[in-house]
Amino acid sequence: MRGTRHGPAVRRRKLGEELRALRLAAGLTSRDAARLVGWHQSKVSRIETGTSGVTGADVARLLDAYGVHEPGSRALLEALAGAADGGGGGWWHAYRGVLPPPYQDFISLEAQACRARTLETSVVPGLLQTSAYARAVTRAALEGVPAETVDSLVRVRIARQEVLRADPPLRLEAVLDEAVLRRQVGGPEVMREQLRRLLEWSRLPHVRLQVLPFALGEYVGLSGSFVIFSFPNISDLDVVALDHLTSSLYLERTEDLEAYGAAFRTMQARALSPGDTSDLIAGIGDGA
């Protein structure tokens, strides 16, 4: 499907497009760029079209040749080179034996993003889950998986939450269907703990939590969950992640990004305010 790719392919193409734009801005042809870094012209072309992988060191050489010295932009583009190869340099690489490649791609994007907008229709977002809740969800989704694998996946889920404690932290805007709060995942005690944790997360200035109440009826995102990742300095690198049971897909076309962005804004406008959301969570927790 055009515009729908797996994580590394999206990163390679986006990175290539940005490098091409920087080369053109520097007034260089691909032949000029190749000569400056000592490569064959075809390598530059393959990198720019996303058909070839590229290392962070290669990106740094190109940026030097293009006169790009701004630290933030360089750090992002060099990090994207790692994501384009599956994010092998991240902390999650230690869990590569249990993490399927699509999940590694997702974590890589999440780790590099400055903002995430997510709609969840069935479970609490992974970044906001407690260990007990994450364990219950993982066991249900991967029935029959060995206990040690479940343990590893839960550790990964909790480790991902460090992006919310980083400096600067990931800015998270989450819209939840009320069903997320009322589904008894793991039993009453697990849910009480999870709802208390949601209240704690919601008090952070960089976390905005809103609920779409049952009384609202149908809404534009009812058909499924998604995440929109945004990245610092370069808005063209935004991507929509659609998570499935066995894989993740990524939408990168401008029209897709605009459609999902508009849908998310609509849902935020129709959802309960953050304050009313906290009141609802507290009320459900008291009666859970």
SS (H, E, C) 135-181: HHHHHHHCCCCCHHHHHHHHHHHHHHHHHHCCCCCCEEEEEEEHHHH
Q: What is the β-pairing status of strands 115-120 and 171-177? A: parallel
The whole-number average pLDDT for the span 172-188 is: 97
Most confident of 59-73, 98-112, 257-271: 257-271
Residue 217: CB atoms within 10 A of its CB come to 8
Question: How does residue 97 score in pLDDT terms, banded at 50, 70 and 90?
Answer: confident
What is the gyration radius of the CA atoms in the chain, in angstroms?
21
Residue 220: CB atoms within 10 A of its CB come to 14
Q: Which range has the worst mean pLDDT, 29-38, 138-147, 210-219, 226-235?
A: 226-235
Residue 7 predicted with pLDDT over 60: no
Question: How does residue 82 score in pLDDT terms, banded at 50, 70 and 90?
Answer: low
Token readout for 140 is 């249900």
Of the candidates 197, 203, 200, 199, the one whose C-alpha atom is nearest the C-alpha of residue 132 is 197
Structure-model confidence comparison of residues 107 and 266, the more confident one: 266
Residues shown for the chain: 288
Phi, psi of 172 (to 5 degrees): -110, 125
Residues 96, 102: Cα–Cα separation, whole Å:
11
The whole-number average pLDDT for the span 200-219 is: 96
Residue 23 predicted with pLDDT over 80: yes
Residue 232 predicted with pLDDT over 80: no
pLDDT score, position 1: 34
Side chain identity, residue 32: D
Query: Exposed e or buried b for every residue in 196-208, given b needs 16+ CB within 10 A?
Result: ebbeebbeeeebb
Question: How does residue 191 score in pLDDT terms, banded at 50, 70 and 90?
Answer: very high
- Give the three-class secondary structure for 38: coil
User: What pTM value is reported for the model?
Assistant: 0.80
pLDDT score, position 102: 77
125-138: pLDDT as tens digits: 999 999 999 999 99
Of the candidates 29, 31, 38, the one whose C-alpha atom is nearest the C-alpha of residue 58 is 38
Phi, psi of 220 (to 5 degrees): -65, -30
Token readout for 5 is 């790719």
Of the candidates 279, 132, 134, 264, the one whose C-alpha atom is nearest the C-alpha of residue 202 is 279
Of the candidates 102, 152, 156, the one whose C-alpha atom is nearest the C-alpha of residue 127 is 156
The whole-number average pLDDT for the span 132-155 is: 93
Residue 288 predicted with pLDDT over 60: no
148 close to 203: Cβ distance less than 8 angstroms? no
Residues 171, 165: Cα–Cα separation, whole Å:
10
